[in-house]
């Protein structure tokens, strides 16, 4: 790619784009950093060069070949089509276009061929969906998954840098025995958790939970797969964890599953519970892989399997997956 833009460059995901593009030597001739008016003039460093943040406007994408969007659903709806009309290919991190039948929803380990079937927009899935489907897909290929039940334990990074800072600020307030201020979440997050990520819908599920249901079916091209999710916010800075239960058409033993997952791209199997050999958020922080452990046959169902999945929400759950999509395009 010659000219690249990042919309939402000063946000939590935007900052990770810069780090990953530099560490992975993503080919860029000119990089443009875009954000809201309040961030204009800020300096961010990329490959030893200080770049000035510009305001995101309708005219920002003239001469831009590739635009990464991490600016929120509203901003994506407002500006993505403007970028496409200017000749840019957009990889969008928001939920604005994920379920559009004309927009590919891509996790490269699963459906990278869809990268080349775009009309100017490629959607990046929800963070909790990405790490789950990376683990589900190889097992689905081996034994056909009929049903999925998942409970997520989602870090404050899912609410951006403000959410992460709120956990830090509330923790400091608790230490000092001072009142805790709640801004980014529906309740205190320090020393607490709540089963409430995004808004509640008429069916009793949250929008986050339904994202996991609908996006998984689209990515894995499995419209008849039965999926139920409960999404929980936990007092962790970054890296989401998930407890996943699956029912398969063909019997999969725990050892079969371990072998399959060990040979699958993007996955690290860490499964020795006796010596605390299971994935934890602190060790997944700033890593690029999806970690799977606690793999065991479900004692309540003859064709059930359960396991634990952990991945960095800002990396594989957001910036890294988008960048991997772009790398497929470049190598394509």
Residue 196 among the catalytic residues = no
Which segments of the chain are extended strands (E)? 3-7, 30-35, 43-46, 49-52, 54-55, 66-69, 89-92, 121-123, 145-154, 226-233, 240-248, 267-269, 290-297, 304-311
Q: Please, what's the b/e burial string for 167-178 (b: 16 or more CB within 10 A of its CB; e: otherwise)?
A: beebeeeeeeee
Work out the angle at residue 90's Cα, subtended by the Cα atoms of residues 84 and 95, and round it to the nearest 5 degrees. 110
Instruction: Give me the catalytic one of 118, 140, 231, 240.
Output: 240
Quote the longest CA-to-CA distance of the chain.
60
φ, ψ of residue 278 to 5 degrees: the values are: -140, 155
Q: Is 68 helix (H, G, I), strand (E, B) or coil?
A: strand
Nearest CA to 95 among 196, 12, 218, 3?
218
Q: Is 238 helix (H, G, I), strand (E, B) or coil?
A: coil
Residue 127 among the catalytic residues = yes
Instruction: Give me the catalytic one of 127, 140, 196, 301.
Output: 127
Active site residues: 127, 240
């Amino acid at each position: 790619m010659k000219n690249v833009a990042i919309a939402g460059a000063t946000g939590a995901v935007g900052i990770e784009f810069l780090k990953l593009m530099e560490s992975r030597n993503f080919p860029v001739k000119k990089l443009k950093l875009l954000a809201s008016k309040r961030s204009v003039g800020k300096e961010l460093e990329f490959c030893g060069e200080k770049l000035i943040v510009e305001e995101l406007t309708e005219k920002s994408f003239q001469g831009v070949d590739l635009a990464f969007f991490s600016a929120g659903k509203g901003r994506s709806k407002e500006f993505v089509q403007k970028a496409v009309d200017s000749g840019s290919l957009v990889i969008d991190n928001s939920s604005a276009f994920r379920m559009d039948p004309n927009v590919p929803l891509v996790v490269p380990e699963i459906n990278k061929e869809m990268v080349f079937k775009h009309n100017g927009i490629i959607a990046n899935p929800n963070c909790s969906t990405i790490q789950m489907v990376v683990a589900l897909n190889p097992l689905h290929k081996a034994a056909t998954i009929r049903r999925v039940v998942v409970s997520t334990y989602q870090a404050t990074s899912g609410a951006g840098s403000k959410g992460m800072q709120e956990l830090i600020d509330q923790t400091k307030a608790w230490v000092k025995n001072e009142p805790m201020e709640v801004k980014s979440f529906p309740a205190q997050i320090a020393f607490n958790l709540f089963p409430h990520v995004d808004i509640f819908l008429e069916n009793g599920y949250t929008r986050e939970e339904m994202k996991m249901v609908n996006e998984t079916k689209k990515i894995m091209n499995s419209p008849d797969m039965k999926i139920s999710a409960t999404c929980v916010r936990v007092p962790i800075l970054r890296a989401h964890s998930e407890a996943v239960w699956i029912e398969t058409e063909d019997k999969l033993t725990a050892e079969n599953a371990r072998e399959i997952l060990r040979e699958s791209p993007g996955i690290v199997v860490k499964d020795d519970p006796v010596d605390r050999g299971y994935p934890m958020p602190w060790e997944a922080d700033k890593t690029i892989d999806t970690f799977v452990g606690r793999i065991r046959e479900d004692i309540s169902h003859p064709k059930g399997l359960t396991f634990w999945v952990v991945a960095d929400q800002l990396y594989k759950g957001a910036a890294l997956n988008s960048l991997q999509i772009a790398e497929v395009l470049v190598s394509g």
